[in-house]
Amino acid sequence: DSGVTQTPKHLITATGQRVTLRCSPRSGDLSVYWYQQSLDQGLQFLIQYYNGEERAKGNILERFSAQQFPDLHSELNLSSLELGDSALYFCASSVFGDRRETQYFGPGTRLLVL
Amino acid sequence: EDKVVQSPLSLVVHEGDTVTLNCSYEVTNFRSLLWYKQEKKAPTFLFMLTSSGIEKKSGRLSSILDKKELFSILNITATQTGDSAIYLCAVSWDNYGQNFVFGPGTRLSVLP
């Protein structure tokens, strides 16, 4: 158990819908990362937050957005969902968001878009 | 285009064998290379490499980076069935945060 929690574990929804995935980092960690893992694309970095501020942006679609709240939990919002958005979404956290730090991954949220 | 290539994509060995997994990369402004092990769900961190030629070891696993030739290897000696997993290589660039690109992974199966 990494100490990173994600909810929900599974989510099934329809195309065109909007969902919110939630992540609570390890106690004391200030930085949160979001990743998407699909069968055809592999693991992709989406976005990083540090202490409420966006720090780095990867391959995140415009239909997706994220934020980190004052209590340091983070939410990833996915809107206008398409079939291709079906994937496992991971959240990871680290203390300072520095490249030299280990990131600890949560168990993931499996999203299925029908 | 930044990319990370891993080979082989899949490998089947028997317990006790030694395996070498390869990761090569092409990224601008390289910062570090990371290895992860992914079993059923979330990846778990193995190593972070930033300097060439310095081997990192953890038990039966070791890894080394060659920044001149732009590759890294992950060695696993005396493999066990518990080593069966997907091994992911990721490369970070970015002066400030940690922007990453991941390779496709190597699926290792260790048979008893």
Write out chain A residues lying below 8 Å of B102, CB-based.
42-45
Residue among B32, B44, B103 whose CB faces A99 most closely: B32
Residue among A45, A99, A103 whose CB faces B45 most closely: A103
Q: How far is A45 from chain B (nearest CA, A)?
A: 6
Q: Tell me whether A107 touches chain B (CB under 8 Å).
A: yes
Rounded to an integer, what distance in angstroms lies between the CA atom of residue B59 and that of residue B95? 32
Residue among A33, A45, A107 whose CB faces B42 most closely: A107
Rounded to an integer, what distance in angstroms lies between the CA atom of residue A7 and that of residue B20? 36
pLDDT at residue B98 in the model: 59
Residue B43, preceding peptide bond in cis (omega within 30° of 0): no
The Cβ-side half-sphere exposure at A31, using a 13 Å CA radius, reads 22
Residues in chain B: 112
pLDDT at residue A98 in the model: 77
Query: Which range, B26-30, B75-79, B88-92, is most confident?
Result: B75-79
Higher pLDDT, B3 or B81: B81
Write out chain A residues lying below 8 Å of B50, CB-based.
100
> pLDDT tens, position by position, for chain A (114 residues)?
889 999 989 899 999 999 999 999 999 999 999 999 987 778 899 999 999 999 888 889 999 999 999 999 999 999 999 999 999 999 999 988 876 678 899 999 999 999
Cβ contact A90:A32 at 8 Å = no
pLDDT at residue B72 in the model: 95
Q: At residue B1, does pLDDT exceed 90?
A: no
Whether residues A100 and B101 touch (CB distance < 8 A) is answered with no
Q: At residue B31, does pLDDT exceed 80?
A: yes
Q: How far is A15 from chain B (nearest CA, A)?
A: 25
Q: Tell me whether A104 touches chain B (CB under 8 Å).
A: yes
What secondary structure does DSSP assign to B58-95, as a single string?
ETTEEEEEETTTTEEEEEE-S--GGG-EEEEEEEEE-S
Q: How far is B41 from chain A (nearest CA, A)?
A: 6
Q: At residue B62, does pLDDT exceed 60?
A: yes
Q: How far is B24 from chain A (nearest CA, A)?
A: 16
